[in-house]
Amino acid sequence: MRMNGQNYRTIWPDSDGRRVHVIDQTRLPHHFETRALDNHLVVAAAIKDMVVRGAPLIGVTGAYGLALALSHDPSDLSLHKAHQTLLETRPTAVNLRWGLDRLRRIISTLPMEQRASAAFDEAGRIAEEDIASCEAIGEHGAQLIKDRAKNLRRPINILTHCNAGWLAAVDWGTALAPIYKAHRLGVDLHVWVDETRPRNQGASLTACELLGENVPHTVIVDNAGGHLMQHGLVDLVIVGSDRTTRTGDVCNKIGTYLKALAAYDNGVPFYAALPSSTIDWQMRDGVREITIEERDPREVTHISGRQSDGARVEIELTPAGSRARNFGFDVTPARLVTGIITERGVSAAQEEALINLFPEYA
């Protein structure tokens, strides 16, 4: 997608398979910088420190990380250790395990001399498949937006939380893909962007993406959504997901559940858009079974941004003696989810409906 008038993907390998390049998302929106990652430990740090983030993107980055490890040492021990190190970086998004397991399954049967190049090829295939899935999600979701916008004599207002756009995937994104597609089809739309404390992925990344694609949007504080819904200012909510159970429980960035509750109370349709790589077919009860990442409390007690002279600063928000905790995600139970937009179409948030779309997981 476009940023500063140029088309980008979030991740791309060198042609000789020695390095993988990514956009440093900790520097956005004020600085556009790329980073070259040349071994799996650097990749693991980039995932942990959220240089790259978003469920589909960490799945693809993890796969490239494993490929880099194999290019240094193709042994079974190296494969095992790198898989472990990368998997431990972030616990909630299932795409990471999905990407790493897929690569390991294929590579472990190959002779040593073929492993590194086969791993790079497979990581590339995962990236291409992600783009195709996100684009298909965009097409299915755009239809839904068009239908909903049909009888409105004003822009359709869509609320989104966190960043589930192309920066969270390889291209297009999940929740934002339907918005980009509908916008390109000429649907008159406007996006409410939750700032998404504590790391502000909405204010910094979603706003930056929407600006790059000239999509009308307004950034709001996280707690404004319910108020807007009560006043008829939200027609549709679309969020992404980091892990969705086979029964349709949706785990996404902290605060998503509260948006779903407000949407339910106000009769606003609430959709999650996700590729099937985000569905954990082994899980049925999201609230009980999904591990919720807890990050450094400093992300809550401090905030960073750009000063008027352009310098980046971090400031303290809370009294030094106050304790803070930083829960990264929450689970929205399926009963609050109107539908799930996948690469194969829109499904009810129910096991039977999801299995109808993905019968191979019956």
Residues within the interface to ligand MRU (CB under 6 A): 53-56, 93, 162, 164, 168-169, 173-174, 201, 240-242, 252-253, 328
Nearer to ligand MRU, 18 or 344 (CB): 344
The nearer residue to ligand MRU, 115 or 243, going by C-beta atoms, is 243
Catalytic residue among 242, 249, 280, 330: 242
Q: Within a 10 A sphere around the Cβ of 23, how many other Cβ atoms?
A: 22
Shortest reach from residue 256's CB to ligand MRU, in Å? 8
Nearer to ligand MRU, 87 or 106 (CB): 87
How far from 302 is each of 51, 80, 199, 326, CA to CA, in Å? 18, 37, 10, 12
Inter-residue contact 336 to 352 (CB < 8 Å): no
Distance CA 163, CA 170 (A): 13
To the nearest whole angstrom, how small is the minimum distance from the Cβ of residue 17 to ligand MRU? 26
Q: Is the peptide bond before 29 cis (omega within 30 degrees of 0)?
A: yes
Minimum CB separation from ligand MRU for residue 351, in Å?
A: 21
**CB of residue 93 vs ligand MRU: minimum separation in angstroms?**
6
- Which of helix, strand or coil describes residue 256? helix
Q: Which is nearer to ligand MRU, 71 or 201 (CB)?
A: 201
Cβ-contact 79, 70 below 8 angstroms: yes
Give least dist CB 57 to ligand MRU, A.
8
- List the beta bridge partners of residue 160: 193
Q: Which residue is at the shortest CB distance from ligand MRU?
A: 240
Angle formed at CA 205 by CA 202 and CA 208, multiple of 5 degrees:
110
Nearest to 134 by CA among 11, 1, 274: 274
DSSP 173: B
Question: Cβ closer to ligand MRU: 116 or 162?
Answer: 162
242 is catalytic: yes
Residues assigned a catalytic role = 242
